[in-house]
Amino acid sequence: MRQGPLSGLKVVEFAGIGPGPFCGMLLSDLGADVVRIDRKGGGRGSPADITSRGRRSVALDLKNPASVETCLKLMEKADAVFEGFRPGVMERLGLGPEVALKRNPKLVYGRMTGWGQFGPYAQAAGHDMNYIAITGALHAIGTKDKPVPPLNLVGDFGGGALYLAFGLLAGVIQARETGKGQVVDCAMSDGAASLMAMFYGFKASGMWKEERRANMLDGGAHFYDTYQCKDGKWVSIGSIEPQFYALLLEKTGIKDPAFAAQMDRGQWDSLRTKLAEVIATKTQAEWTEIMGATDVCFAPVLDLDEAPRHPHNVARETFVEVAGVVQPAPAPRFSATPGRIQGPPPAIGAHDVDALTEWGFSKADIESLQASGALAAPATA
């Protein structure tokens, strides 16, 4: 029995990489029944493939007409479908939105790409860093010397998967109101640009300089930065508001009157040097004891081994262990219908029979697909 606020939502996912699997994980964690269409003959899956958790896998040969028809029948029964191929690929397979929406007018058809379905770059290859490069986001992140890729959090997952999940659910709400589905064109470049809304506002108001580490939120300010401790570990300090800044000075024992010029950009570099010298006198654990859980706006900078053991994360069960793999728990949290990890990452084709059966395919239908080669033949003893 699936658990979460999206229980009853039926989604078809065409297997891909990056933001597509992460979107599928988010939907599944909140209870959606996500059936993933995998390539027949693909790999076996791994417990470490965290973003593949919680769905069922049906492996099909999409060059086989019977497989294409199977996908269309699944779409007929789905609330939403999403894919992450280059524009035109699904149309060439006979699975594009025009065909799918004729079969199911209420279907919400999500298209996840880097550049979008149209535009000069639409057919070009790319990765997260490229997609955020044209939005202003990459230029704003890094050292004074060079932009630095912020993992693939801004494009793939923030600007891609989260916007796709948001778009699919918005489309489903609309379809349930009107009976009409639609296509969701989710470009990571669009999403990353949307994430930059506040910073474009800062620029328009004269609060943002087109220079890295020269602004309040990009490490330019001494009161919003990371600092190395005596033991080589790091802490984060974000004491923006005057009362929080005053507490920072109190907790660090700083009495230098120069620190009164908190918002004087011309003093930030020298004040950072002075603050760094103070932070370097104690270990990360000592500073955590002094400033942790206070209004300084402080937290230790933890690595991936340390983060699951932090007391706050332990108290909230932010991380869980499944099949020996430590991983983030479902988010966000719901008081009445909490989500959960619905199952481990599936082996490719592990649910050929039971998923299709549950979605309305008869035993004869499945045997016909196996006989045609569209679906793997049943294992023999």
Last residue of a domain, one of 249, 268, 301: 301
pLDDT score of 380 more than 70: no
Tokens of 11: 């989604």
**126, 189: one domain:** yes
- Supply the pLDDT for residue 69: 97
Count other C-beta atoms under 10 Å from residue 355's C-beta: 21
Q: How far is Cα 202 from Cα 208, in angstroms, rounded to an integer?
A: 5
pLDDT number for residue 58: 96
Supply the pLDDT for residue 381.
41
pLDDT digits 0-9 by tens, 347-364: 999 999 999 999 999 999
Token pair belonging to 279: 């932070």
How much of the chain, in percent, has pLDDT values that exceed 90? 95
Give the residue-averaged pLDDT of 319-344: 96
Say yes or no: 271 and 365 in one domain.
Answer: no
Count Cβ atoms below 10 Å from residue 365 Cβ, excluding itself.
Answer: 16
- Residue 180 predicted with pLDDT over 80: yes
Name the least confident of 228-232, 311-315, 371-375. Answer: 371-375
Domain of 277, CATH number, reads 3.30.1540.10
pLDDT computed for residue 337 by the predictor: 97
Question: Is residue 153 situated within a structural domain?
Answer: yes
**Residues 165, 41 share a domain:** yes
In this prediction, residue 1 carries a pLDDT of 82
Q: Which domain holds residue 241?
A: 224-301
Average pLDDT, the chain: 96
Same-domain status, 124 and 232: no
Cα distance between residue 187 and residue 119, in whole Å: 11
Those residues whose C-beta lies under 8 Å from the C-beta of residue 166, and which sit 6 or more positions away, are none
48 and 190: one domain? yes
Amino acid letter, residue 192: A
Distance CA 93, CA 133 (A): 31
pLDDT classification of 150: cutoffs 50, 70, 90? very high
pLDDT of residue 41: 78
- CA 240, 243, 244, 249 torsion: positive or negative? positive
CB atoms within 10 A of CB 66: 17
Q: From CA 279, how far away is CA 248, in angstroms rounded?
A: 11
Please, is 17 exposed, middle or buried when counting C-beta atoms within 10 Å of its C-beta (0-12, 13-18, 19+)?
Answer: exposed
- Residue 374 CA: distances (Å) to CA of 53, 65, 307, 310, 351: 25, 8, 45, 48, 14
pLDDT value, residue 220: 97
Q: What is the pLDDT of residues 256-312, one digit of tens each?
A: 999 999 999 999 999 999 999 999 999 999 999 999 999 999 999 999 999 999 999
Q: pLDDT band at residue 219, thresholds of 50, 70 and 90?
A: very high
Does 101 have pLDDT greater than 50?
yes
* Mean pLDDT confidence for 196-207: 97
Residue 82 sits at the vertex; the CA angle it makes with 179 and 366, to the nearest 5 degrees, is 90
214 occurs within a structural domain: no
Q: What is the model's pLDDT at position 376? A: 85
- The catalytically annotated residue of 127, 139, 185, 365 is 127
Give the per-residue SS3 of 10-74: EEEEECCCCHHHHHHHHHHHCCCEEEEEEECCCCCCCCCCHHHCCCEEEEECCCCHHHHHHHHHH
Whether residue 155 sits in one domain with residue 75? yes
What is the sign of the dihedral through the CA atoms of 353, 357, 362 and 365?
negative
Spot the catalytic one: 33, 79, 156, 190.
Answer: 156
- What total number of domains does the chain contain? 2
Using the predicted structure, report yes or no on whether residue 371 has a pLDDT greater than 70: yes
| 43 and 166 co-located in one domain | yes
105 with 182, same domain: the answer is yes
Q: Is the pLDDT of residue 378 over 90?
A: no
Residue 203 located in a structural domain = no
Tell me whether residue 156 is one of the annotated catalytic residues: yes
* pLDDT recorded at residue 152: 96
Q: Number of C-alpha atoms within 13 angstroms, CB side, residue 1?
A: 3
Say if residues 339 and 26 touch (Cβ distance below 8 Å): no
Cα radius of gyration (the chain): 25
Q: What is the pLDDT of residue 42?
A: 66
- CATH code of 146's domain: 3.40.50.10540
238 pLDDT above the threshold of 80: yes
Torsion of CA 294, 297, 300, 306, to 10 degrees: 80
- Which backbone phi and psi does 34 adopt, to 5 degrees? -105, 115
- 71 and 137, same domain (yes or no): yes
The mean pLDDT value for 310-324 works out to: 97
Which pLDDT tens digit goes with each residue over 27-83?
999 999 999 999 987 667 789 999 999 999 999 999 999 999 999 999 999 999 999
